[in-house]
Amino acid sequence: MKISELMSEEDILFDLPCSDKNEVIKALTENLAAHGHLVSAQECLEDVLKREAEISTGLVGGIAIPHTRSRAVKESRVSIGRLTNVIPWETIDGSAVQVVILITVPESCQGEHLKILAALAERLMEEGVCEGLHTITEKHKIIELLEG
């Protein structure tokens, strides 16, 4: 299985005019709900923020990967929001964040989907991947980049 089974172009939002992490996670969860991937957008948002409060998911190079394994999620999904401006986020390298990868999986998620996410996590550690998430303008190429 591949990452393209967990994301399609409709899960990628460019030019989001959000000014903080709550706004961007809200925009992404509402987009997921609109496509029928959630049981409850509000509950999913709360669960993501709860996880975020435990340890910030800000990485390096202006990327953050908020995520949750929640009963508010119907189907596993990876969605991406790219912002018009950088926003404050507690990151490993102190950078502000412009690309947010939201990972939402149901509580019952296991097996193949978790393996895809593990592969995605490893992919994010490879050279050039985080840079590409900032610069690529075609959505299908973002999916190809994450697929490796």
Stretch binding other proteins (CB under 8 A), from 21-29, 52-60, 81-89, 137-145: 52-60
Residue 39 vs 109, nearer CB to other proteins: 109
From the list 75, 70, 67, 123, the residue with the least C-alpha distance to 100 is 67
Residue 92 touches other proteins, criterion: CB under 8 A? yes
Residue 107 vs 138, nearer CB to other proteins: 107
From the list 77, 81, 78, the residue with the least C-alpha distance to 25 is 81
Under a CB-based contact definition with an 8 Å cutoff, are residues 72 and 39 in contact? yes
- Where helices occur in 35-104 by DSSP H, the ranges are 41-54
Give the footprint of other proteins on this chain (CB under 8 A).
51, 54-55, 57, 59-60, 65, 67-69, 92-93, 103, 105, 109-111, 114-115, 117-122, 124-125
